[in-house]
Amino acid sequence: MFEKKFILILFVSLFILTGCSFVNKIKEKLNNRSEKKTDSWEEAKEMSTGDDMGFYNKYIVVMNKLQDNGEKVYKDYLSDIPDPESITKNSLIIPVSFQISVGSLERVVKEYRRSYYDGGELSKLNASTEMKQEIESSFKTLLSTMEEYYAVSLKVSDYYFKMDYKADLSNVKPYDEEMKNIYDKYKPEMNKLSADLKKFKPKRVFRDPESISNPDERSSTVMLNAYENILDAAEEFYESYNGLEYKGDLAEAQKTFEDFKIKFNENKRNALNSEFTERTKYMKYSFEDYFVKTAEDFMDAGNRFFENAPSTNTENVYRTLYNDVIDDYNGMIVSYNSSINSINMTLKMLK
């Protein structure tokens, strides 16, 4: 009887011990799955953040180019075409600038329509759902209006360029109204896209390189910080520069431009003086040979603008100087996007 009780007790004890071990193993497996799931979610979140930044920066370039062309068409119309009340069959109207800006608007609108609707770069961009939906919706509405803007502008510019007004003045006032109406339609839609981009601008997360032990990740973080510091200063400048008028006050824009140059040189020096591994050395070379050159082109254009714009006596010269800054600013943003995407890809491979 005693032997039976002993065997029973021994059996129960072994069951409890192995049962606990079994339960612990199950818990460990579940915990491991949970950790893997968390790691996967964190990686997806980081990828989403990177996608959002690339999406945001690309649409900043798109908005700037569309806005630049939209504004220039209307300004050239007002500059080249006299007040409707003063136009007669004997008026000599030579709308060269107006014609050129209309042609430029056509090229930009076609470029972005093909990019978005015909499998181009815009069609392949990813971002978080709400951001992508709202910004793309505003962009599509604006693009449709700008196609209408182009059609109206082409009709009006041809009317004067071909001198049809000399045979028939009846369209002078209606065409003037059409130009005003389409500009008034385009303007709030451009403002809507701008507001959406500000609303969804990805929040920047600063990481201290000195707190990172992995040398590849540390040097990558140094470069990310440099790029993002420079871009922040560039965006601050652009906000004060965008929309400057001929003979207007340039003081605030010039101040932010000088601030940009200081911050650019500080971050350039910090980046190029940092240590890089064999795996990340390409980041230094790309920064030095590619991004720095586009930033220097931008600064050269800015220097020319602030040196010459205040004293120029023609709006066309002013507008050329002004547009050169925007073109080189956009070129720097394109370079930034390419470089950031490359660094983010390296960081993902390190995880």
Amino acid at 85: E
Cβ atoms within 10 Å, residue 348: 12
The verdict on 251 and 339 lying in the same domain is: yes
Residue 39, in any domain of the structure? no
Q: What three-state secondary structure class fits 60?
A: helix
pLDDT of residue 4: 46
Name the nearest CA neighbour of 87 among 158, 159, 166: 166
Say what angle helices 315-350 and 215-241 make with each other, to 10 degrees: 160
Residue 345, in any domain of the structure? yes
241-269: per-residue pLDDT in tens? 988 989 999 999 999 999 999 999 999 99
Place of tokens 């600013």: 329
Q: How far apart are CA 168 and CA 337, in angstroms?
A: 51
pLDDT of residue 49: 57
Of 146, 181, 203, the residue that ends a domain is 203
Q: How far apart are CA 342 and CA 336, in angstroms?
A: 10
Residue 233, in any domain of the structure? yes
pLDDT of residue 243: 84
Of 203, 226, 249, the residue that ends a domain is 203
57-97: per-residue pLDDT in tens? 899 989 989 998 998 899 899 889 999 999 999 999 999 99
- How many domains does the structure of the chain reveal? 2
The verdict on 93 and 193 lying in the same domain is: yes
- Which H or E run contains 341? helix 315-350
The verdict on 107 and 213 lying in the same domain is: no
Residue 248, phi-psi category: left (phi > 0), alpha (psi -120 to 50), beta (remainder): beta
pLDDT in tens, the chain (351 residues): 444 444 444 444 444 444 444 444 444 444 444 343 333 223 333 334 568 888 998 999 899 899 989 988 998 998 899 999 999 999 999 999 999 999 999 999 999 999 999 999 999 999 999 999 999 999 999 999 999 999 999 999 999 999 999 999 999 999 999 999 999 999 999 999 999 999 998 887 778 888 888 998 999 999 999 999 999 999 999 999 988 989 999 999 999 999 999 999 999 999 999 999 999 999 999 999 999 999 999 999 999 999 999 999 888 788 889 988 988 998 898 898 888 888 888 877 776
The verdict on 199 and 211 lying in the same domain is: no
The verdict on 170 and 239 lying in the same domain is: no
Residue 196, in any domain of the structure? yes
The verdict on 180 and 297 lying in the same domain is: no
The verdict on 284 and 328 lying in the same domain is: yes
The verdict on 225 and 322 lying in the same domain is: yes
Of 170, 203, 236, the residue that ends a domain is 203
Amino acid at 42: E
Containing structural domain, residue 305? 205-351
The verdict on 136 and 187 lying in the same domain is: yes
The verdict on 109 and 66 lying in the same domain is: yes
pLDDT of residue 50: 61
The verdict on 154 and 210 lying in the same domain is: no
The verdict on 135 and 265 lying in the same domain is: no
pLDDT of residue 262: 98
Cβ atoms within 10 Å, residue 31: 10
